[in-house]
Amino acid sequence: MKKPFVTLEQLKEITKKYPTPFHIYDEKGIRENARRLKEAFAWNSGFKEYFAVKATPNPFILKILQEEGCGADCSSMTELMLSEAIGFSGNDIMFSSNATPAEEFIKAREMNGTINLDDFTHIDFLEKVAGIPETISCRYNPGGVFKISTDIMDNPGEAKFGFTKEQMVEGFKILKSKGVKNFGIHSFLASNTVSNEYYPTLARVLFELAVELKEKTGADIKFINLSGGIGIPYMPDQEPNDIMVIGEGVRKTFEEVLVPAGMGEVSIFTELGRYMLAPYGHLVATAIHEKHIHKEYIGLDASAVNLMRPAMYGAYHHITVMGKEDGPCDHKYDITGSLCENNDKFAVDRMLPKIDMGDFLVIHDTGAHGFAMGYNYNGKLRSSELLLKEDGSVQLIRRAETPKDYFATFDFCDILKNIKY
């Protein structure tokens, strides 16, 4: 059973100053997890994790990860700007984007970050708008389906990302002729895998590709980026990944494929988001309404604007009714928000302890792709973000939005000057 990293007593104190809903993150858990990842790949002297900024774009979180030796994987102008403000630059920046505007390539070049090209046609585009750097990476899409054992994990052939193998060969030749000296390879073939096989299987695909590219193009391949895809057990009965087993699996593949090819100095990179942060974030909300019609409903002061994964694609997030952790789960509820959309539900037909008005509900595993995917539909305002620090204190790391924030982009509109805040 999943257990919150905050207690009911802590929440009672926290909400005296910061009302629900809010996202709260566990600094101790984040740091310990980053250290486990680093230990799992310590066999590779050049290993580096580039945290996927899109997962949790908060400067306080990014600073913690920077202190733990992580870089930043950015995919937009504002993510580059945020990372630069924190102090990431040069080899600490990986810029992985697609359908990329010219100004974003220019910014990445100005920061001397490593550009991870998503498409063959981007070679000429990048050269035209920002110039070709000496170090560059290219994203590979093998097409078809991606399998682990007998299970189909994902369908790269339907994904919009990456070069074909033929384009990788030709692209490396072209880039080499344009002055590139250091090459990298990147691929992302499956999302949120709860399998220790995924990374080693992906590694074999990329390691074998690296050997082939070196033979056919003479490119000096400096790093291989295994990207993200290591997932977390959202369901309480799922077995979690074992990062030490994963790291050892990649090591064995490295020694089987790259070392015999004279490529034992290649660095391994990762760009994890969900694995790094998801379990260390909770959305905390209060039960404010109950409804008894064809089903039993509990209405929260949070909604899909605070966590859209369940509404977007039926994702499961475990829920703890605080103070009733040991109570019988003998009530069936739909847990809802207040949006004018019927899919605004955090849980459907969920068996939980009896919920009373005023109860705190902790929605688990929201530390990645939680707050970050928020929006303002129905004029709803984004919540605050809090950090539970290692010493037990709580720090506000993003204030809640106000109506003034919501209307700020209409500051040229005379009609709205009459609004009273």
Burial of 62 (0-12, 13-18, 19+ CB in 10 A): buried
- Displacement of CA 223 from its chain's centroid (Å): 21
CA angle 369, 408, 52 (to 5 degrees): 20
DSSP-H helix ranges across 147-293: 165-177, 198-217, 243-257, 274-277
Provide the token pair at 230: 């290591």
- Strand, helix or coil at 130? coil
| Kind plus residue range of the DSSP H or E element containing 331 | strand 331-336
| Kind plus residue range of the DSSP H or E element containing 312 | helix 309-313
Distance CA 22, CA 399 (A): 9
Residue holding tokens 């082939």?
Answer: 212
**If you count them, how many residues does the chain have?**
421
| Kind plus residue range of the DSSP H or E element containing 149 | none
329 is catalytic: no
Provide the token pair at 51: 């945290």
Distance CA 395, CA 397 (A): 6
Q: Packing angle between helix 122-129 and helix 165-177, nearest 10 degrees?
A: 30
Distance CA 384, CA 395 (A): 11
> Annotated catalytic residue: which of 70, 74, 329, 340?
340
Catalytic residues: 340
